[in-house]
Each structure stands twice: as structure tokens, then as C-alpha cells.
Chains A and B, each alone.
Chain A
Amino acid sequence: EPEVTQTPSHQVTQMGQEVILRCVPISNHLYFYWYRQILGQKVEFLVSFYNNEISEKSEIFDDQFSVERPDGSNFTLKIRSTKLEDSAMYFCARGGRTDTQYFGPGTRLTVL
């Protein structure tokens, strides 16, 4: 059983369009993370989210990105105006009781 589920599994969009990627935790958790992995490259941290607030973000997470938990359950990552270089796998992760993290299956974003 996955720790979190993510939708959609694959998103294709045109450059300049907005996309929203969703993460749904299986049970109630307070700590969430978004990562991305460009094909053939390493997993990169984007942002951490605790108790409905951003707790840390990387230099990749610029003004084009935002996160929220609109209904107290789903956790979303929005990219306002996609660029070609945003094409990647986007993983949501939830934090455990220790500082281990458990990843969802990912959303493959393709920007044309």
C-alpha cells in the first residue's frame, strides 16, 4: 500500500500553462514534501510543508511554484507558467515519526 497517492500519474501540458499536481495522504500526517527528478538526474528537494505552512524551500522553488493544502487533506503543488525545463517526475513524500520520508508514486509532467 502506498503511503501517499498522487494524481495524475502523467500530465502533458503546453508551455506557459498552469498545472496542479495532487498528493493525497493515506492517513493524517503533518509533514509533507515535494521533490522533482529530471530524467536521468538526481532527486531534488523543492519544498517542505508542516502544519499547513511552508517550513523550507529550495532555490528551485521560485515564484512560479506554490503549495497548499486547501481542504486539510489533499496537498497540491502548482506551477503557474510551465517551462520546458519543468518536465520531470514530481514526487510527494510524507514524513514519518522519525525523519524518514515515504514517497508517493509520482506524477510525470511533460511540458511541450
Chain B
Amino acid sequence: RKEVEQDPGPFNVPEGATVAFNCTYSNSASQSFFWYRQDCRKEPKLLMSVYSSGNEDGRFTAQLNRASQYISLLIRDSKLSDSATYLCVVNPNSGGYQKVTFGTGTKLQVIP
């Protein structure tokens, strides 16, 4: 099983749609989880951290399911500007300024 696994997509959705991505991780001891977005040939940019209780930031909602070892990202009311690759990132270390592991990313294309 890969350390961090994502469906590569692409997900093609119309503007205004709701879309959800899942990500599974293999290390049950993992402590921190993040979603980043990456535009073509640009650097990853932090979208949001994922907390155990779930968290929301505007149109974006992240959930963590430790028992099943997956995290999810829900985007409501999709905008054209949401088109990007969404990267699931897992840090196995507690309080860790250490290695994080990236998934391969899920590509989202929002269509007018």
C-alpha cells in the first residue's frame, strides 16, 4: 500500500458543483494532515490543515477518519479558479518539523 494514495482524476465538474476528494494513508501513527493546492508548474500552496474534529474554511471542508485512515476534502460551489491539483500531505511525526509525504494529487477542472 502506498504511503499516501489519491485518485489522480481528473475530476471535471461544472461551476457551482460540489466535489469531494479522498486520500488514504498507510501509517496509522500519522499525526498531521494537510491539503495543498498546486497550479500547473507552480509551488504547492497550503489550503488547510485537517483536524480530528473536521474543519471548514469558507467553501472548503476537511475531514479526518483515523479508524479508516483517510482524509477528505469537500469543495462547495466550485469556481473556475478552483481548477488545480489538490495534494494530500501527511506527517507521521508528532510536533514534527520533519519529512512529510505527498500524495500524487487529484486534478480538478471546473468547467464553465
CB of B49 within 8 A of CB of A89, answer: no
Q: Is residue A53 within 8 Å, beta carbon to beta carbon, of the partner chain? A: no
Give the residues from 47 to 61 in chain A that come closer than 8 angstroms, CB to CB, to chain B: 48, 50, 55-56, 58
Residues of A within 8 A of B95 (CB): 99
- Cα distance A110–B51 in the bound complex, in angstroms: 39
Cβ of A65 under 8 Å from chain B:
no
Q: How many Å from the CB of A10 to the closest CB on chain B?
A: 11
Check if A43 is an interface residue, CB within 8 A of chain B: yes
Q: Does B17 contact A (CB under 8 A)?
A: no
Residues from chain A with Cβ under 8 Å of B44 in the complex: 43, 91, 103
- Report which residue of B34, B97, B105 has the largest number of chain A beta carbons within 10 angstroms of its beta carbon: B97
The answer to whether B102 touches A48, judged by C-beta atoms less than 8 angstroms apart, is no
Q: Bin the interface of chain A by size.
A: 20 to 34
Task: Place the interface of chain B in its size category.
Answer: 20 to 34
Q: A99 with B102: in contact, given A104-B43, A105-B43 (CB under 8 Å)?
A: no
Other-chain residue from A31, A43, A50, A102 in contact with B102 (beta carbon distance below 8 A): A43
Q: Is the contact region of chain A dominated by helix, strand, or loop, or is it mixed?
A: strand
* Bound-complex Cα distance A25 to B60 (A): 29
Contacts of A27 in B (CB 8 A): none
Instruction: Quote the shortest CB–CB distance from A28 to chain B (angstroms).
Output: 15
Query: Does A103 lie within 8 Å of B45, measured CB to CB?
Result: yes
* B44 closest partner in A (C-beta): A103
Q: Of A41, A91, A102, A105, which contacts B46 at CB under 8 A?
A: A102
Q: Across the interface, do B45 and A48 meet the contact criterion of CB distance under 8 Å? A: no
B43, A91: Cβ atoms under 8 Å? Answer: yes
Query: Contact between B46 and A56 (Cβ–Cβ < 8 Å)?
Result: no
A43 — nearest CB in chain B belongs to which residue? B102
Complex CA gap A98/B93 in Å reads: 12
Q: List 8 A-B contacts (CB under 8 A).
A: A31-B97, A41-B104, A42-B87, A56-B99, A89-B41, A99-B32, A99-B100, A102-B46
Contacts beyond the supplied A43-B87, A55-B98, A102-B46: 7 A-B pairs with Cβ under 8 Å: A42-B87, A91-B43, A99-B91, A99-B95, A99-B97, A106-B43, A108-B41
